[in-house]
Amino acid sequence: MKTASEFNYLGRIFLLLIILSAMLPPAISKASDKNESATRIVLLGTGNPQPDPDRAGSATAIIVNQTAYLVDFGPGVVRRAAAALRDKGIRELYPPKIRVVFNTHLHSDHTVGYADLILTPWTMGRRVPLEVYGPPGLKEMTEHLLAAYKEDIRIRTEGLEAIPKESLQVNVHLVKPGVVYQDDNVKVTAFPTSHGDWEHSFGYRFDTADRSIVIPGDTTPTQATIDACNGCDILIHEALTMKFVNNSRRPNPQGFDLKKYAATYHTTTSQLAELANKAKPGLLILHHNPISLRPDKRPMASTPADLLNEITTAGYKGKVVVGHDLDVY
Ligand SMILES: [Zn+2]
Ligand SMILES: [Zn+2]
């Protein structure tokens, strides 16, 4: 029969093993890519502001040489990164390893995951600063979020978890058009976009040893996007379907002018067809579109087939696909 002290001793070891196993990345059953130095794109969130369970909020990962670079942190970003690790074997997206992030603009559907990205990987073991690049206002958002979670941070650093307080660091870098980041893997160039009343919004071009990738974020069609791509390998662009814009039965409790909104803030399928014919990407990936992957549940919504059909009918001649969460390109 075990004594109480023996039981306490064994119990503590058991508890320690549970805590340690929670901090380690889950076992990977297979490599996700034979050539792991090749640049890959992982679509973490292809949705829009709709709380669609099939499509997380805006977030895209570029993976180069065992390093992940993120663009935007919409709702669900950390869970999708964990899913990319668990389901696709993409070890670079083990959340504590994510440390370089870019933001196109501060709309909530691109930033609601920010607190999650700051705090969750930190509690799971990130001990280097999170480096975040984006428009003016990002610094204030960061400071407000850290202030909002002040008690959580106090309990985690001063309580039994004893996470070193100095390990929670977020370095915000405000961007302007031009090269905003460069390391051995990637050069990142920001360019201005045109997104309605937002004074500052940016798209990003990534140049790696084997690929050029352009992600404008939310924008009307602009010459800056065409110039940033200019025959790039991959352009990841939004597009509103005309079926969505012209749907008079779409719920609109505010009664705002959707056509004017679309023309001021976003890009339609026909506009994107024209833009992409000029930008000439090797592959056009569509994301952030008003579509449903389960049209049986939302019969009035556009489908992926509607989206593709509108783009090609509008005259787009290049290769185009509809992006889904966790697709890897
Ligand atoms: Zn937006
Ligand atoms: Zn958006």
Active-site amino acid positions? 109
Contacts of 322 (CB under 8 A, 6+ apart): 285, 286, 289, 291, 304, 307, 308
Each residue's pLDDT tens digit in the chain (329 positions)? 444 555 465 556 555 554 554 455 444 333 344 566 799 999 999 999 999 999 999 999 999 999 999 999 999 999 999 999 999 999 999 999 999 999 999 999 999 999 999 999 999 999 999 999 999 999 999 999 999 999 999 999 999 999 999 999 999 999 999 999 999 999 999 999 999 999 999 999 999 999 999 999 999 999 999 999 999 999 999 999 999 999 877 778 888 889 999 999 999 999 999 999 999 999 999 999 999 999 899 888 999 999 999 999 999 999 999 999 999 99
Instruction: Indicate whether 107 belongs to any domain.
Output: yes
Gap from CA of 218 to ligand 2 centroid (Å): 5
The domain containing residue 220 runs over which residues?
28-322
Which of the ligands is closest to the CA of residue 109? 2
Instruction: Indicate whether 2 belongs to any domain.
Output: no
Evaluate whether 157 touches 166 at the Cβ level (below 8 Å): no
Gap from CA of 5 to ligand 2 centroid (Å): 57
CA–CA distance, 143 with 170 (Å, rounded to integer): 9
What is the pTM assigned to this prediction? 0.89
CATH (domain of 231): 3.60.15.10
Which of the ligands is closest to the CA of residue 219? 1
Domain count, the chain: 1
Gap from CA of 300 to ligand 2 centroid (Å): 21
What are residue 101's phi and psi, to 5 degrees?
-140, 140
Lookup result for tokens 């650093």: 157
Distances in Å between the Cα of 61 and the Cα atoms of 32, 84, 189, 247, 307 are 15, 10, 16, 33, 23
Instruction: Indicate whether 327 belongs to any domain.
Output: no
Token pair of 187 as six digits: 């050069």
Gap from CA of 105 to ligand 2 centroid (Å): 9
